[in-house]
Amino acid sequence: MLRHPWLFYSIGERMSIDKKSIHVRVPPELHDQLSVMADFLDKDIAEEAARILARGIVAAFYEFSIAHERMTRLGLKAKDRE
C-alpha cells in the first residue's frame, strides 16, 4: 500500500514508483473527454488516465476502509451479510 497515496496522483512528473499494467475499456465519449484533458495538460492519454484512476481508487479505498471499520466495530463480517 502506498504510504502517501495522494502523492501518486498529485506530483505528476515525479511519479517513479513501480507500476503494474491495467487495461480498461471506456465508452467513446469518456475517451474523448480524457483525450481533451490530456492534450490540455500536454500529457499522454495513458498517463492522465492513470492519474485519474489512482484518484478514484484512493477515494474508493477510503470509503471501503471507513465501512470496514464500522462493520468491525459492530461485530459484523462481510461473509455474515448473506
> For 27-47, what is each residue's pLDDT tens digit?
999 999 999 999 999 999 999
Number of structural domains (the chain) is 1
Say if 75 falls within a structural domain. yes
Q: What is the mean predicted confidence (pLDDT) over 2-15?
A: 53
42: Cβ–Cβ under 8 A, 6 or more apart, which residues?
none
What's the confidence (pLDDT) of residue 57? 96
Q: Give the residue numbers spanning the domain of 34.
A: 26-81
What is the percentage of the chain residues whose pLDDT exceeds 70? Answer: 73
Say if 8 falls within a structural domain. no
Alpha helices in 1-82 (DSSP H): 5-10, 28-40, 45-73
Say if 68 falls within a structural domain. yes
Give pLDDT tens digits for 58-74: 999 999 999 999 999 99
Say if 46 falls within a structural domain. yes
Say if 11 falls within a structural domain. no
Say if 55 falls within a structural domain. yes
Find the distance separating the first CA and the last CA of the chain, reported in whole Å.
29
What's the confidence (pLDDT) of residue 11? 46
Say if 3 falls within a structural domain. no
Say if 19 falls within a structural domain. no
Q: Which residue has the higher pLDDT, 15 or 22?
A: 22
